[in-house]
Amino acid sequence: MENERLLKVMQRLEEELITVYRKFHQLPELSNEEFQTTKTLRELLTAVGIRILDLPLATGLVAEIAGDTKGPVVAIRCDIDALPVQEETGLPYQSLNQGKMHACGHDFHMTVILGAAYLLRQRERALAGTVKIIFQPAEETGHGAEAIMQTGVLSDVQAIFGLHSQPHLPVGTIGTCTGPLTAAVDRFELDIIGVGTHAAEPDKGIDPIVVAAHVVTALQTIVSRNINAFDQGLVSVTHIKSGNTWNVIPQSAFLEGTVRTLKAETRKLIPAKIKQISEGIAASFGARAELRWYPGPPATNNTAKWAKLAAQVGEETGYEVREEIPWLGGEDFAYYQEKMPGAFINVGTGQSYAHHHPKFSIDEAAILHSARYFSRLAEQVLLALEKDI
């Protein structure tokens, strides 16, 4: 009887969460514009009596579920923003916002964490401490985590957990690892300044296109010749622009690219090498190179203890748990992990096109299971922290 009742309750919760998920999916909003999304979240949370903290955030919010207020504090975080992608899934609940789409599964993340919040709310009195639930804005632009941290709301948090949907993992599977799960993502721009001239008289100028070609080729040696073979790194020139016609040697060339690393020392080494190589090569041709460096989020860094507990809770809740290898994409969850221990977890959402693709989708069957997992994880982390105190 009890089992049947529980099953019914869970079925109802699943239906409710799927409805919410479709609503989020239909109304995607870009980074820092998540006003409607925040309003919907606010309404859903307050409807079940979950307290929303009063913070100076334009979008996004932090809710709190507190059992033993003298106990430890844990945070679970999801992101809520969408991407400037025109959806092509053809789903009946396809995006209604022209040119915007939840193409990274953040609608799934919000729904899962909302479901976890519902479940934690039901067990609020039994909780060994406090759970702070972060609905973070602006993950895609890499500034949302900082906005949340600047409010000071996480100063008492002892461990933080986050998730990402993963089309490479089947539904019913989660994956995590100790150490980095995602990379530090940096961007660079490089100007090669030569001397423009008539295409018939290259000897009168300094051709920045020839210099740029040498630079692009030489930059590829950074990973192969300067980084330990057991470490990882990536240097890609992804954008070149120079000249605008066939009979003029231009004055300059513009190069842009990205660098991905997992270790802090590698992250420091690469820009120094890019500068040395580009300036050195340019000088050898009589040209000049100017590097501009735009740091993005660092690599995520899962604490061994919490990655292990996350895997253990996964097994207890019926997940197949995989040891993940790092991915060189970025995730601004890393900013939290610079300040506090925690773990980032990949959640299998079933075969689909890649993240950010106009046909990206998730399998709704992953929602309820993940919500139950994150509520249990928060509870278990509180118990583990309580034992440590």
Q: Is 111 helix (H, G, I), strand (E, B) or coil?
A: helix
Residues 259 and 284: their CA atoms lie apart, in Å, by 25
Piece of 68-76, 101-109, 317-325, 371-379 that binds Ni ion (CB under 5 A): 101-109
Nearer CB in complex with Ni ion: 78/237: 78
Burial of 198 (0-12, 13-18, 19+ CB in 10 A): exposed
Nearer CB in complex with Ni ion: 40/165: 165
Q: Per-residue x/- mask for Ni ion, residues 165 to 184, rule CB under 5 A?
A: --------------------
Burial of 366 (0-12, 13-18, 19+ CB in 10 A): buried
Piece of 100-108, 260-268, 357-365, 368-376 that binds Ni ion (CB under 5 A): 100-108
Piece of 98-106, 332-340, 362-370, 374-382 that binds Ni ion (CB under 5 A): 98-106
How many helices (DSSP H) and strands (DSSP E) are in the chain? Answer: 9, 14
Residues 288 and 265: their CA atoms lie apart, in Å, by 27
Residues 382 and 129: their CA atoms lie apart, in Å, by 6
Residues 205 and 201: their CA atoms lie apart, in Å, by 7
# of chain residues touching Ni ion (CB under 5 A): 1
Nearer CB in complex with Ni ion: 31/261: 31
Q: What is the nearest approach in angstroms of Ni ion to the Cβ of residue 286? A: 45
Piece of 97-105, 282-290, 318-326, 371-379 that binds Ni ion (CB under 5 A): 97-105
Q: What is the nearest approach in angstroms of Ni ion to the Cβ of residue 183? A: 14
Q: What is the nearest approach in angstroms of Ni ion to the Cβ of residue 200? A: 51
Q: What is the nearest approach in angstroms of Ni ion to the Cβ of residue 168? A: 14
| Residues whose CB falls within 8 Å of the CB of residue 71, separated by 6 or more in sequence, listed in order | 127, 128, 129, 130, 382, 385, 386
Residue 354, beta-bridge partner list: none
Nearer CB in complex with Ni ion: 129/142: 142
- Contact between 104 and Ni ion by CB under 5 A: the answer reads yes
Q: φ and ψ at 352, to 5 degrees?
A: -160, 175
Q: What is the nearest approach in angstroms of Ni ion to the Cβ of residue 14? A: 23
List the interface residues with Ni ion, window 124-153 (CB under 5 A). none
- Contact between 112 and Ni ion by CB under 5 A: the answer reads no
Nearer CB in complex with Ni ion: 14/332: 332
Query: Alpha helices, DSSP H only, in 151-291?
Result: 208-221, 264-284
Question: Residue of minimal CB distance from Ni ion?
Answer: 104
Q: What is the nearest approach in angstroms of Ni ion to the Cβ of residue 164? A: 6
Q: What is the nearest approach in angstroms of Ni ion to the Cβ of residue 372? A: 22
DSSP label at residue 125: G
Q: What is the nearest approach in angstroms of Ni ion to the Cβ of residue 162? A: 10
**Helix axes 366-388 and 304-316, enclosed angle (nearest 10):** 130
Residue carrying the six token digits 């000088």: 283
Piece of 12-20, 93-101, 104-112, 381-389 that binds Ni ion (CB under 5 A): 104-112
- For binding to Ni ion (CB under 5 A), which residues are involved? 104
